[in-house]
Amino acid sequence: MSDMTRTLGMFALVAVLILGTGFLQSWNSALLILNMGLVSAIMALGVNLQWGFAGLFNVGVMGFVALGGLATVIISMPPVREAWAAGGTGVMAALAVGAVTLAAAVWVTRKMPKGRARALAMLAVLIVGFVIYRALFDPSVDAIEKVDPALTGYLGGLGLPVVLAWPVGGLLAAGAAWVIGKTALGLRSDYLAIATLGISEIIIAILKNEDWLSRGVKNVIGLPRPVPYEIDLQNDPGFVARAEGLGIDPTTASTLYVKLGYGIMFTVVLVIILVLAQLALKSPWGRMMRAIRDNEVAARAMGKDVTARHLQIFVLGSAVCGVAGAMMTTLDGQLTPSSYQPLRYTFLIWVMVIVGGSGNNFGAVLGGFLIWFLWVQVEPIGQLVMNIATAGLADGSALKVHLLESVAHMRLLTMGVILLLVLRFSPRGLLPER
């Protein structure tokens, strides 16, 4: 029962923090923190599946989050007809050739006897495939990127409702995770870490450079939204009347309404995933996972297929991260590949899981909210502290200016200190696994 009170107490604390932001700063920033907190909580749940349930060390969260973002573009943006006409078929054919080449190479490795002949045959398949692929790919890409590069210059998406992108983001991430898992999961934990770190960098590199797919560093802006636009609300007499009835001015009311809309949708997703994760944890499957985590050799001896189970949970956890990534891009309304930084999208999520309590779903959710709150609020708090600390220094002195400017970097420092303190004094997190 004390577990229950502890959990409730911790979540009450988070509620107080967010409500406090609402009363002291503004309700807009409170809702902003809440919405990103919800997204962060889902990401933390995904990492908790992998690390807390199965002990898999995935430091490629950023890549799966970014794939979710890509799904948003592919699903919701209107297709660019001219670009499809110019090079759509060429790119698709090239991608098909690429896939066939890889499949053929795998087939050669499987079918031929080991030896020099096999290596040469595989190399030949790969080289021929690569040449055909580039011959098809390069001209089509050039053609696509020439189509009105200032506005489009990419294939666009399917023009479907944006909410559909959330499950699709999960599927994309799951597909990538399956490929990575197939190659890297049999390896030791630190090798898996480096492999996932590498994959996430590669995914970001693809998003930044393949302009035909995601417009690269030119960014995709103006993604469709699942909620109404503020300006439409402000022009809607019914809404204005209701806002005035509540005593809020219509502009603020419209921004709050939109953010609340997102908040409700995100809460629904979080609750669904949390319930599923909780059911999984309590099921025989969850017990098996923890048995594998705690003693792999014993679990294998009991006849459990450790590699297959690891692959399964790796794919599931990554899919959850992909869903969260799609939700985040929907919330932002744009895809900016250059904004994906490993410290923010991989390691911060790890801090959330460790601080919240790995192995405990509620812990992961708590960590998501709490660490996100701190990530946002450390800067203003740091500003305040620094202003007091430097009050004695002469105005305009170089040291004072430097210290005040550096406040922006307090975040990373604080996150590191929090992580180390939790690991030292409460290594199982704020809400330990039962």
Partner 1 sequence: MEFLNAFVALSNFVLVPAIAYGSQLALGALGVTLIYGILRFSNFAHGDTMAFGAMCTILVTWLLQGWGVSLGPLPTALLALPFGILGAAALVLVTDRAVYRFYRAQKVKPVILVIVSMGVMFIYNGLTRFIIGPDDQRFADGERFIISARDFKSMTGLDEGLAIKTSQGITVITAVITVALLFWFLNRTRTGKSMRAYSDNEDLALLSGINPERVVMYTWLIVAALATIAGTLYGLDKSFKPFTYFQLLLPIFAAAIVGGLGSPLGAIAGGFVIAFSEVTITYAWKKVVTYLMPEALEPDGLLQLLGTDYKFAVSFVILVIVLLFRPTGLFKGKSV
Residues in touch with partner 1 (CB under 8 A)? 55, 57, 138, 183-184, 187-191, 193-195, 197-199, 201-202, 205, 208-209, 341-343, 347, 350-351, 354, 405-406, 409-417, 419-420, 423-424, 427
Point out which residues pair with 220 in neighbouring strands: 335
Smaller CB separation from partner 1, 13 or 194: 194
Sort residue 418 into left (φ over 0), alpha (ψ -120 to 50) or beta: alpha
Q: How far is the CB of 252 from partner 1 (least distance, A)?
A: 34
Smaller CB separation from partner 1, 183 or 397: 183
Q: How far is the CB of 350 from partner 1 (least distance, A)?
A: 6
369: closest CA among 111, 63, 39? 39
Query: Distance of CA 11 to CAs 165, 363, 368, Å?
Result: 30, 10, 11
DSSP string computed for 343-365: IIIIIHHHHHHHHH-TT-HHHHH
Angle (CA) 79-84-87 rounded to 5° is 150
Q: Quick check: 274 and 45 in contact, CB under 8 A? A: yes
Smaller CB separation from partner 1, 202 or 221: 202
Q: How far is the CB of 271 from partner 1 (least distance, A)?
A: 29
Smaller CB separation from partner 1, 282 or 402: 402
Smaller CB separation from partner 1, 217 or 241: 217
Return all residues near 187 (Cβ < 8 A) that are at least 6 apart. 195
Q: Quick check: 322 and 42 in contact, CB under 8 A? A: no
Q: How far is the CB of 340 from partner 1 (least distance, A)?
A: 13
Q: How far is the CB of 323 from partner 1 (least distance, A)?
A: 24
N-term to C-term CA, the chain: 12
Tell me the C-alpha distance between 250 and 261, whole Å: 16
Smaller CB separation from partner 1, 31 or 204: 204
54: closest CA among 287, 352, 283, 289? 289
Q: How far is the CB of 109 from partner 1 (least distance, A)?
A: 11
SS3 432: coil
Smaller CB separation from partner 1, 424 or 434: 424
DSSP string computed for 384-405: HHHHHHTTTSPTT-HHHHHHHH
Q: How far is the CB of 208 from partner 1 (least distance, A)?
A: 6
Smaller CB separation from partner 1, 158 or 418: 418
Q: How far is the CB of 22 from partner 1 (least distance, A)?
A: 29
Smaller CB separation from partner 1, 163 or 355: 355
Q: How far is the CB of 55 from partner 1 (least distance, A)?
A: 8
Tell me the C-alpha distance between 206 and 121, whole Å: 29
Tell me the C-alpha distance between 274 and 126, whole Å: 44
